[in-house]
Amino acid sequence: MKNITKSIVFALISVVFIQCGNNTYDISKGKVGALTIKTTMQEVDGIFAKDSIVKELSEGAKGNNFFQEDDKYMIFEKGGKHLLTIIPKEQLDSTSTIKSIEIFDERFKTKTGLNINSTFQEINANNNISKVESSFLSATLFIDDLNATVSIDKEELGLKDFSTQKVSKEQIPDLAKIKSLTIWFN
């Protein structure tokens, strides 16, 4: 009887450790939750079977639109909370793998705690920012160890919109908030 009890306790402890190590909200290089660089678009439906998926599909190469948008798979939790937007590498191809994932839910985070609610100070202290590029409306931080980009609105930087003024890491205020967080799978 003791061996059976020991086996049951061991099995329960194993399940707890497996569950703790398999967090559906972990972000790392090449991984967002259950999505990896090998995940195909047809697998996305199964992974998010309990959630709602809104698909905005393009016309692909056969369309007449010269400025063709990418396909978008927007994942919403039951109740309507936007979790992720997934962009496939190939449009209108269910066997395509993922090009990028934009994070919208603060539960998705890295081991260092980077999530959509992080400030620049937290990003800079815990990640290696390889470069900063500015556009008309935002500054984009490149985090190579995650293959991620973080966009910060120029308003957060105290700069005027529609200027292409270069931005350095030193110019970004510690409390500047993230506009978007994208993980790239290339």
8: helix, strand or coil: helix
The rounded radius of gyration (Å) of the Cα atoms in the chain is 20
Q: What percent of the chain has pLDDT over 90?
A: 67
Residue 159: the pLDDT is 79
Please give the angle made by the CA atoms of 33, 37 and 99, to the nearest 5 degrees.
100
Is the predicted pLDDT of residue 93 greater than 50, yes or no?
Answer: yes
Q: Is the pTM of this model over 0.85?
A: no
CA dist., res. 169 & res. 131, Å (int): 8
Residues 120 and 59: their CA atoms lie apart, in Å, by 38
Residues 62, 65, 68, 72, CA torsion sign: negative
3-state secondary structure of 95: coil
Q: Strand, helix or coil at 4?
A: helix
How large is the average pLDDT for residues 108-115? 95
pLDDT at 157: 87
Helix (H, G, I), strand (E, B) or coil at 36: strand
Domains defined along the chain, listed by start: 27-184 (2.60.460.10)
How does pLDDT run across 120-140, given as a tens digit for each residue? 999 999 999 999 999 888 999
Concatenated DSSP letters of 120-174: HHHHHHHS-EEEEEE-SSEEEEEETTTTEEEEEEHHHHT--TT------GGGS-T
